[in-house]
């Protein structure tokens, strides 16, 4: 089993929390993993990404080679497109459709969405909207994680649920419950699209 | 013990704690910051009373660590690569004094400049100071090297340089811990002259250090971190340094037929390299950063040996290694991939909405544009983003503290108005001495210390000058009537403009301190207060 994941979005959206939940789930289940992320200057509202690699064999490179990512998980639709050269031709994009427009020359939303529609395999929906409806706007990242589960290879729904308990446990039961609800809502959206 | 999920930085921090650390000394800098933060947050470190407070700059950090080593304790100094420039005097001379307690200097290099102004390679500093260097290829190796490094330092009597790169520092992996060791008891150097580098003593120390080089090479040759694996295809021998080894193996996951020498400890194991060169038609050097090993090989090997790497274009001359560019070096065809649609725009980092630096630049822009020839010299920090639109406020960003001294030099050269914009943490790091130069010559400069009461760019660490900025300026000799403080908010916009105009027109040193807490740390503090 081997899965390569690109997580992306805009600094501050919470992609690193998604990464740590999946990573915790993988490690708990005896898998090898590497997760490279960006700190520092780019976190100030710039584009951010994390390379997450999971395998049942030792992993060498911290970075995913071009054309080898199984899935691009993005909290922002334009950011999903930025990492296309890393996506395998058989890979899937799971992305938020809600844009984060903090630059003056942000393109027309329709143009972005039509590019994503052209992709052979994608899951796209308004993650922010679902998060607000079922939990809290802050849980958008976990809704997106839920929608990504069908594309995470050997990482099952149960494993991710446990990952959420492990990562958010110290913040209290209410936070865990909220995130589990967000996760379920995201998964339901992806299941409905099948 | 079970595996823990740790960043490379965190693995190093945990290893230092486990290996009997008594103090970490550091100034924040990407990608090294998380090492000290991990130790600050560690319950084990607290229990063991390990020193972990931030230092004013990398030089004070290096010297304090050397002092801790002097009394026999184990000390760690951490910095980003350019911090090595700041502490170079102390670092190189620590090579001359040697150590008493184990001393490890951690330099985190940033090839590709993800968050830096250059991609200098710290291994050159290690060679310059003639001390052993360790360069891990993965997080577990980073842990193991740090865990052994104090004892290695005590055994050889020298500080050691531990060099990592961004992709190791900021990548997480499962790491297995080892048993905790006790801290050293206090002890003093056996030779009372060891740390007194008067020329007569220094000549002795220098000869000793030169003589020790042979044993350092032997240590490298027998090190478990350096490994030679023979291969049947001798058309090429591969030398893979540090993280470069991972990119090599990523490309040969089914096995490699070329002989491979993995290098993670320096000085270079010369005999092993010569032996490999003798049996191979050519050598390829894979190293992240500058061509440190590649350049040395030209002096170590016969001119007939063909050496490939960054210098001959087999690998790119600049930028970090990736699995892709290492694959290309072996002639592997890149995969066909999707391309980025042209609709995608760049999304550069920007000052946060609500940040006080924004108000400072807005007011400054309006006033300076009243003058024909103005220049604004700036510095390293969040406020460097004032170079980007819509502000485009600054004309320089070079090194920590350079805003003040460059403004002085430009004023000396006839520029008016000559303005410096510097943050509070950068000011105490390396700006104070430049301010004294300005005062001693009554230079015609305006210095804006944009004080957000934190070291913001690296994530909101304590700033050494918080609550002391005015006292420092007055103490250095700034005239009280030309030291002015303002809160950078929209409602004070006109007040700020008037203040800036008045102080530009004053022929002498003026300091304006716009002070408002970083909105990121303010939010964090509000959250903490709400919990209590």
Q: Is B165 helix (H, G, I), strand (E, B) or coil?
A: strand
State how beta strands B160-165 and B103-109 pair.
Answer: parallel
What are the sequence ranges of the domains in chain B? 3-221, 227-329, 356-522
User: What are B441's two structure tokens?
Assistant: 């010559």
Query: Could you identify the residue written with the tokens 């997450």?
Result: A52
Nearest CA to B392 out of B351, B345, B356 is that of B351
Confidence grade of residue A27 (pLDDT, cut at 50, 70, 90): confident
B3-221 matches B227-329 in fold: yes
Among positive and negative, which fits the CA dihedral A55, A61, A62, A64? negative
ipTM attached to this prediction: 0.93
| Contact assessment for residue A78 and residue A112, using Cβ atoms and an 8 Å cutoff | yes
| Contact assessment for residue B209 and residue B95, using Cβ atoms and an 8 Å cutoff | yes
Q: If chain B, 532 residues long, is cut into consecutive pieces of 10 residues, what is the mean pLDDT of each piece?
A: 89 98 98 98 98 98 98 98 98 98 98 94 98 98 98 98 97 96 98 97 98 98 97 98 98 96 98 96 98 96 95 97 98 95 93 95 98 97 94 98 98 98 98 98 98 95 97 98 98 98 98 97 92 76
Which of the following CATH numbers is that of domain A2-101+114-193: 2.160.10.10, 3.30.70.360, 3.40.920.10, 3.40.50.980? 3.40.920.10
Residue contact B382–A34, C-beta within 8 A:
no
Which of the following CATH numbers is that of domain B227-329: 3.40.1670.10, 3.40.50.300, 3.40.50.920, 3.40.50.970? 3.40.50.920
Residue B192 confidence (pLDDT): 95
CATH code reported for the domain at B356-522 = 3.40.50.970
Cβ-Cβ contacts under 8 Å, A105 against chain B: 345
In this prediction the pTM is 0.96
How far apart are the C-alpha atoms of B510 and B473, rounded to whole Å? 10
How far apart are the C-alpha atoms of B86 and B61, rounded to whole Å? 10
Cβ-Cβ contacts under 8 Å, B323 against chain A: 61, 63-65
Backbone angles phi, psi at B134, to 5 degrees: -115, 140
Residue contact A67–B344, C-beta within 8 A:
no
3-state helix, strand, coil in chain B (%, to 5): 40, 15, 40
| Contact assessment for residue B75 and residue B62, using Cβ atoms and an 8 Å cutoff | no
Q: Is B123 helix (H, G, I), strand (E, B) or coil?
A: helix
- Which of B31, B253, B327 has the CB atom closest to A39's CB atom? B31
**Separation of CA B236 from chain center:** 34
Nearest CA to B408 out of B434, B426, B429, B383 is that of B434
User: B residues 302-321 near A, CB within 8 Å?
Assistant: none
DSSP code, position B385:
G
Residue A42 confidence (pLDDT): 61
How far apart are the C-alpha atoms of B11 and B144, rounded to whole Å? 9
State how beta strands B74-80 and B21-26 pair.
Answer: parallel
Name the CATH superfamily housing domain B3-221. Thiamin diphosphate (ThDP)-binding fold, Pyr/PP domains (3.40.50.970)
Determine the longest span between alpha carbons in chain A, in angstroms.
46
Residue B521 confidence (pLDDT): 95
What are the sequence ranges of the domains in chain A? 2-101+114-193
Cα angle for residues B33, B39, B40 (degrees, 5° grid): 85
Question: For residue range A49-106, what is the model confidence (pLDDT) as tens digits?
Answer: 999 999 999 999 999 999 999 999 999 999 999 999 999 999 999 999 999 998 989 9
The H or E element that residue A123 is part of is strand A122-125
Residue contact A107–B344, C-beta within 8 A:
yes
Nearest chain B residue to A60 by CA: give it. B246
Question: For residue range B268-291, what is the model confidence (pLDDT) as tens digits?
Answer: 999 999 999 999 999 999 999 999
How far apart are the C-alpha atoms of B189 and B167, rounded to whole Å? 38
Among positive and negative, which fits the CA dihedral B513, B514, B520, B523? positive
């Amino acid at each position: 089993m081997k899965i390569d994941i690109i997580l992306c979005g805009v600094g501050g959206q919470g992609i690193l929390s998604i990464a740590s939940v999946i990573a915790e789930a993988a490690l708990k289940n005896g898998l090898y993993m590497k997760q490279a992320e960006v700190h520092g200057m780019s976190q100030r509202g710039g584009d951010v990404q994390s390379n997450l690699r999971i395998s049942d064999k030792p992993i060498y490179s911290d970075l995913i080679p071009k054309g080898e990512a199984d899935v691009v998980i993005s909290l922002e639709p334009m950011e999903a497109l930025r990492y296309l050269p890393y996506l395998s031709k058989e890979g899937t994009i799971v992305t938020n459709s809600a844009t984060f427009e903090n630059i003056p020359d942000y393109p027309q939303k329709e143009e972005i969405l039509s590019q994503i529609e052209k992709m052979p395999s994608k899951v796209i929906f308004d993650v922010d909207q679902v998060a607000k409806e079922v939990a809290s706007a802050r849980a958008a990242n976990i809704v997106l994680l839920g929608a990504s589960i069908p594309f995470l290879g050997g990482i099952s729904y149960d494993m991710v649920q446990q990952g959420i308990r492990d990562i958010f446990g110290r913040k209290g039961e209410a936070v865990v419950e909220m995130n589990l609800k967000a996760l379920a809502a995201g998964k339901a959206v992806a299941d409905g699209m099948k | 013990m079970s595996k823990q999920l740790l960043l490379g930085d965190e693995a190093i921090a945990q290893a230092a704690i486990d290996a009997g650390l008594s103090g970490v000394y550091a100034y924040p800098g990407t990608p090294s910051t998380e090492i000290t933060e991990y130790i600050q947050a560690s319950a084990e470190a607290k229990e063991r009373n390990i020193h972990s407070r931030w230092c004013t700059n990398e030089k004070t950090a290096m010297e304090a660590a050397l002092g801790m080593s002097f009394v026999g304790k184990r000390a760690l100094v951490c910095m980003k690569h350019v911090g090595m420039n700041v502490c170079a005097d102390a670092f190189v001379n620590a090579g001359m004094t040697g150590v008493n307690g184990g001393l490890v200097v951690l330099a985190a290099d940033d090839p590709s400049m993800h968050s830096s102004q250059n991609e200098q390679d710290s291994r050159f500093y290690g060679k310059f100071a003639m001390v052993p260097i360790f360069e891990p290829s993965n997080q577990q190796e980073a842990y193991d090297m740090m865990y052994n490094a104090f004892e290695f330092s005590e055994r050889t009597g020298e500080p050691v340089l531990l060099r990592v790169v961004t992709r190791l520092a900021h990548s997480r992996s499962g790491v297995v811990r080892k048993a905790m060791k006790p801290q050293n008891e206090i002890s003093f150097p056996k030779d009372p002259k060891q740390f007194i580098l008067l020329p007569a003593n220094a000549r002795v120390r220098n000869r000793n250090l030169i003589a020790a080089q042979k044993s350092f090479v032997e240590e490298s040759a027998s090190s478990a971190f350096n490994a030679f694996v023979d291969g049947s295809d001798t058309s090429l021998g591969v030398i893979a340094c540090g993280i470069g080894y991972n990119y090599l193996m990523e490309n040969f996951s089914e096995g490699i037929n070329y002989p491979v020498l993995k290098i993670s400890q320096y000085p270079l194991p010369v005999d092993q390299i010569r032996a490999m060169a003798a049996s191979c038609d050519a050598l390829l050097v894979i190293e992240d950063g500058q061509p440190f090993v590649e350049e040395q090989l030209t002096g170590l090997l016969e001119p007939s040996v063909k050496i490939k790497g960054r210098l001959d274009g087999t690998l790119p001359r600049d930028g970090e290694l990736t699995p892709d560019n290492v694959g290309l070096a072996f002639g592997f065809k890149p995969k066909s991939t999707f391309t980025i649609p042209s609709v995608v725009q760049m999304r550069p980092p920007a000052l946060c909405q609500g940040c006080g630096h924004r108000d400072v630049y807005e007011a400054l822009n309006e006033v300076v544009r009243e003058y024909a020839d103005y220049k604004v010299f700036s510095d390293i920090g969040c406020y460097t983003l004032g170079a980007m639109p819509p502000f485009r406020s600054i004309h320089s960003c070079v090194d920590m503290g350079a805003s003040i001294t460059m403004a002085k030099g430009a004023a000396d050269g006839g520029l008016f108005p000559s303005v410096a914009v510097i943050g509070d943490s950068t000011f105490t790091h390396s700006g104070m001495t430049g301010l004294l130069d300005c005062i001693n010559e009554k230079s015609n400069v305006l210095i804006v210390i944009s004080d957000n009461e934190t070291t913001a760019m690296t994530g909101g660490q304590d700033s050494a000058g918080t609550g002391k900025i005015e006292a420092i300026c007055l103490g250095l000799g700034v005239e009280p009537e030309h030291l002015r403080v303002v809160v950078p908010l929209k409602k004070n916009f006109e007040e700020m403009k008037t203040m800036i105009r008045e102080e530009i027109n004053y022929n002498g040193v003026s300091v304006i301190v716009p002070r408002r807490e970083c909105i990121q740390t303010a939010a964090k503090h509000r959250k903490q207060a709400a919990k209590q």
